Amino acid sequence: QRAVLAEHRLAYVSDAPVNWCPALGTVLANEEVTSDGRSERGNYPVFKRKLTQWMMRITAFSERLIDDLELLDWPDAIKAMQRNWIGRSTGAQVDFAALTSRGAASDHTPSEATISVFTTRPDTLFGATYMVLAPEHPLVDEIAPTSWPASTNSAWTGGAADPSSAIAAYRADAASRSEIERQAEGRTKTGVFTGAMALNPTTGSAIPVFIADYVLMGYGTGAIMAVPAHDQRDFEFARTFGLPVTKVVTPPENWPNDPANWETAWGGDGPVCGSANDSISLDGLSVDDAKAAISTWLEDRRLGHPTVTTKLRDWLFSRQRYWGEPFPIVYDTDGTPIAIPESELPVLLPDIEDYSPRTFAADDQVSMPEAPLARAEEWMQVTLDMGDGPKAYRREVNTMPQWAGSCWYELRYLDPTNDDVFVDPDVERYWMGPTPDRPSGGVDLYVGGVEHAVLHLLYARFWHKVLFDLGHVSSPEPFGRLYNQGYILAHSYTDERGVYRDALTIEERDGSYFSDGDLVTRELGKMGKSLRNAVAPDDLYESYGADTLRLYEMSMGPMDASRPWATRDVVGMYRFLQRLWRSLVDEDTGNLTVVDSEPDAGTARLLARTIDGVRSDMEGLRFNTSIAKLIELNNHLTKLAAPVSRSVAESLVLMLAPLVPHVSEELWAMLGHDESLTYVPFPEADPALLVADEVEIPVQIKGKVRARIMVAVDADSAAIEALALADPAVVALLDGAAPRKVIVVPAKMVNIVL
């Protein structure tokens, strides 16, 4: 019963191949391994090892994890990365009968085996001329005969005397090559014949079954039907091994009629051809129609059915670390995992002498993971009463990955002192509940880096959906709006030997860069100690103060863009803060110069426009343009002969507070306030001041600005046209000629067409 349940449990023990990183001394999730087979953290080699580890059944949520992206206000790039990672593709599973006896030596017996394949192109079933299994596919040993069938192509055997030695040699060879080596081989197709044949259910012909590493055990069923005419990989394999290429979809007219003369496979649409037998004909149908027709045919004969496959794999959830949440799991004397009853929770980490992970040489493939908690012998052994009397159990010694905590911290933050539940349902609904304009619910704004796209952000969504299904949260998604801030980049400099030179030593001459006289090459990338281009915040605090640094970083450009650091530019924001101070404070006496009288009309209007603009820029996280508007306002104030009005000064300080909190608080106190400005609302723009009575608009002749006129904001087109045509500069340029057409955009501009 436990075994059956384990097939469906959210958390389960698996002994499938996992990612083992000897240098880190722990196993890793697929998401933590880079495409070249190294650890995301530390960039160490990672090896596939068959180990018993805890898994989370995230694949059960694949569909919803893709579909619910629609609900989210997230950057397209992140959504695309998640879709791509989950990798849903719809197609069909098709069953092929294995025929080990066909054409084989007389000591072979017919196989009962069925080879199931996943295909997105069931319409091309008639063109399947061979099959390929992943090298580690469990059926391989079952279907392979003991000797080569008569007249086996010598190119298919890998030079081996019999199928089992060919298979063994191919597997050994595949295992010895790293991901990087395989990629470096330029994807030349390799493989060997298994000696077995299979029956193409549509044509009734026997087709050879190969193993090849271009078919992955981890995707689909780990087996494919190969249609070389219409799949590029199969095409290349067929060319290498001299396999037949049968056309079943008509390519465009400029393609050679005979597939033997094709340069590539034809993967596009076209009328299906050569696809008929006694009970079905697909000929003449489009690809889509043929898919539908063959699916029905397969289902009627119980040979296949439509299905969906994803690239996403279950989440490897155990780590060999001390610092992680211990599993609430014990094993009985039979080694069966049992959940600890709630009354015994939480399981706390034991105090141990040595917390450090057991690590190995980076390339030590045969090393075995060792959990630090396994050193806590006393803690491991525990006596519990599971309802059948006290018994001895052994604790699980693996711990959860760092992601476990980040999957729900945002929920705990809502109600951090609650001792009864992790979050009160009412509290959760208040902060995170779905609303008509945000059906996903979740955190209002989550600012974070792209590096979490298919790690934290995927895991947390999965975890949240589990809690949602269990009724613990009302929101289907944890983070309603996501904003990716860019990186602060910096130039790094390498000399001829490729050694990084300290960025502080660099001099520029005639567009080239030199370090102590040596020519160096400049690159733009992240800051880092090893790149010798990091900027120490302490130095900037020392020279300019924390407010200046903060203001500079916000002013550099849009928040979501990566931007190059330029120490030289920091001074601009420092100067601004000095000018700001002097607009409100007498430098010599230190006394406030602000007056209580109302500002002049121009200043009042500029203030209103600034408040309005800064407010919307802040809402859109456009801090760079907020700052520009605040500088403009201050520049205006410094040009005034008169002292600054209190109403203007206070609004300015309040608007600056989120950007330069220290200077703002200081000025706020000097303006006579006892309480922090944190509790004062953001200024409101006077709507009456946002609309001017008159505006200056350009007058264009043939699209070029030739004059400017003042017009009332509510002036109609005719009045504006008359004003424009009466302008002396326009009269002179027209020189008596009658305009062919005059376009007037009220309160915006005039364009005269000659």
Partner RNA sequence: GCGGGAGUGGCGGAAUUGGCAGACGCGCAGGAUUCAGGUUCCUGUGUCCGAAAGGACGUGGGGGUUCAAGUCCCCCCUCCCGCACCA
Rg (CA), the chain: 36
- Taking CB under 7 A as the criterion, which residues in 200-219 touch RNA? 213-216, 219
Dihedral of alpha carbons 499, 504, 509, 510, sign: positive
Supply the minimum distance, in Å, between the C-beta of residue 121 and RNA.
5
Nearer to RNA, 368 or 566 (CB): 566
Nearer to RNA, 328 or 572 (CB): 572
Nearer to RNA, 301 or 748 (CB): 748
Segment near RNA (CB under 7 A), from 55-63, 223-231, 440-448, 492-500? 223-231
Q: Which of 389, 436, 590, 703 binds RNA (CB under 7 A)?
A: 703
- Taking CB under 7 A as the criterion, which residues in 171-190 touch RNA? 182-183, 185, 187, 189
- Cα–Cα distance for residue pair 41/23, rounded to 1 Å: 11
Task: Say which DSSP state 53 is in.
Answer: E
- Cα–Cα distance for residue pair 575/573, rounded to 1 Å: 5
Segment near RNA (CB under 7 A), from 54-62, 64-72, 502-510, 554-562? 554-562
Supply the minimum distance, in Å, between the C-beta of residue 137 and RNA.
9
For residue 3 the two structure tokens come to: 């075994």
Nearer to RNA, 435 or 635 (CB): 635
- Taking CB under 7 A as the criterion, which residues in 633-692 touch RNA? 635, 638-639
Element (H, E) at 111: none
- Cα–Cα distance for residue pair 138/148, rounded to 1 Å: 20
Supply the minimum distance, in Å, between the C-beta of residue 92 and RNA.
9
User: ∠ CA(597), CA(598), CA(600), 5° rounding?
Assistant: 125
Nearer to RNA, 74 or 408 (CB): 74
Nearer to RNA, 128 or 371 (CB): 128
- Cα–Cα distance for residue pair 250/287, rounded to 1 Å: 10
- Cα–Cα distance for residue pair 158/195, rounded to 1 Å: 12
- Taking CB under 7 A as the criterion, which residues in 64-83 touch RNA? 75-77, 80-81
| CB-based contacts of 700-709 (< 8 A; 24+ apart in sequence) | 700/749, 700/750, 700/751, 700/752, 701/730, 701/733, 701/734, 701/751, 701/752, 701/754, 702/752, 702/753, 702/754, 703/751, 706/730, 706/733, 709/750
Supply the minimum distance, in Å, between the C-beta of residue 224 and RNA.
5
- Taking CB under 7 A as the criterion, which residues in 516-545 touch RNA? 543-544
731 neighbors 697 (Cβ within 8 angstroms)? no
Nearer to RNA, 66 or 376 (CB): 66
- Rule CB under 7 A: say whether 301 interacts with RNA: no
580 neighbors 574 (Cβ within 8 angstroms)? no
- Site size with RNA, rule: CB under 7 A: 89
- Cα–Cα distance for residue pair 282/296, rounded to 1 Å: 12
- Rule CB under 7 A: say whether 705 interacts with RNA: yes
Nearer to RNA, 13 or 742 (CB): 742
- Rule CB under 7 A: say whether 87 interacts with RNA: yes
Query: 85 forms bridges with which residues in the sheet?
Result: none
Segment near RNA (CB under 7 A), from 85-93, 97-105, 288-296, 375-383? 85-93
Instruction: Find, among 247, 304, 287, 353, the residue nearest to 114 by Cα.
Output: 304
DSSP string over 359-428: ---TT-TT-----GGGG-HHHHEEEEESSS-EEEEEE---B--THHHHTTHHHHTTSTT-SSSSS-HHHH
- Taking CB under 7 A as the criterion, which residues in 617-636 touch RNA? 622, 624-625, 627-628, 631-632, 635
Nearer to RNA, 105 or 690 (CB): 690
Supply the minimum distance, in Å, between the C-beta of residue 415 and RNA.
35
- Rule CB under 7 A: say whether 220 interacts with RNA: yes
For β-strands 506-509 and 500-501, DSSP reports them as unpaired
Nearer to RNA, 280 or 707 (CB): 707
- Rule CB under 7 A: say whether 721 interacts with RNA: no
- Rule CB under 7 A: say whether 509 interacts with RNA: no
- Cα–Cα distance for residue pair 593/5, rounded to 1 Å: 77
Segment near RNA (CB under 7 A), from 325-333, 334-342, 672-680, 745-753? 745-753
Nearer to RNA, 231 or 410 (CB): 231
Supply the minimum distance, in Å, between the C-beta of residue 515 and RNA.
20
- Rule CB under 7 A: say whether 483 interacts with RNA: no
Pattern of binders to RNA over 138-177, x per CB under 7 A? Answer: ----------------------------------------
216 neighbors 136 (Cβ within 8 angstroms)? no
Q: Is the bond into 346 cis (omega within 30 degrees of 0)?
A: yes
- State the SS3 of 632-700: HHHHHHHHCCCCCEHHHHHHHHHHHCCCCHHHHHHHHHHCCCCCCHHHCCCCCCCHHHHCCCEEEEEEE
Q: Which of 98, 245, 697, 730 binds RNA (CB under 7 A)?
A: 697
Q: Which of 557, 643, 658, 661 binds RNA (CB under 7 A)?
A: 557
- Taking CB under 7 A as the criterion, which residues in 317-376 touch RNA? none
Q: Which of 423, 515, 700, 707 binds RNA (CB under 7 A)?
A: 700
Supply the minimum distance, in Å, between the C-beta of residue 154 and RNA.
23
Nearer to RNA, 718 or 745 (CB): 745
- Rule CB under 7 A: say whether 35 interacts with RNA: yes
Phi, psi angle pair for 508, to nearest 5°:
-105, 130
Supply the minimum distance, in Å, between the C-beta of residue 505 and RNA.
19
Contact residues for 453 (Cβ-Cβ < 8 A; gap 6+): 77, 78, 81, 82, 85
Nearer to RNA, 182 or 481 (CB): 182
Q: Which of 25, 45, 91, 683 binds RNA (CB under 7 A)?
A: 91
- Rule CB under 7 A: say whether 311 interacts with RNA: yes
- Cα–Cα distance for residue pair 72/79, rounded to 1 Å: 9
- Taking CB under 7 A as the criterion, which residues in 110-139 touch RNA? 117-121, 134
Nearer to RNA, 628 or 725 (CB): 628
- Rule CB under 7 A: say whether 731 interacts with RNA: no
For residue 285 the two structure tokens come to: 């149908």
Nearer to RNA, 108 or 706 (CB): 706
The gap between the terminal CA atoms of the chain, to the nearest Å, is 89
Nearer to RNA, 427 or 689 (CB): 689
- Cα–Cα distance for residue pair 239/524, rounded to 1 Å: 44
Supply the minimum distance, in Å, between the C-beta of residue 96 and RNA.
13
Nearer to RNA, 189 or 465 (CB): 189
Supply the minimum distance, in Å, between the C-beta of residue 557 and RNA.
3
- Taking CB under 7 A as the criterion, which residues in 561-580 touch RNA? 561, 563-564, 566, 568-569, 571-576, 578-579
Q: Which of 8, 302, 497, 741 binds RNA (CB under 7 A)?
A: 741
- Cα–Cα distance for residue pair 690/456, rounded to 1 Å: 44
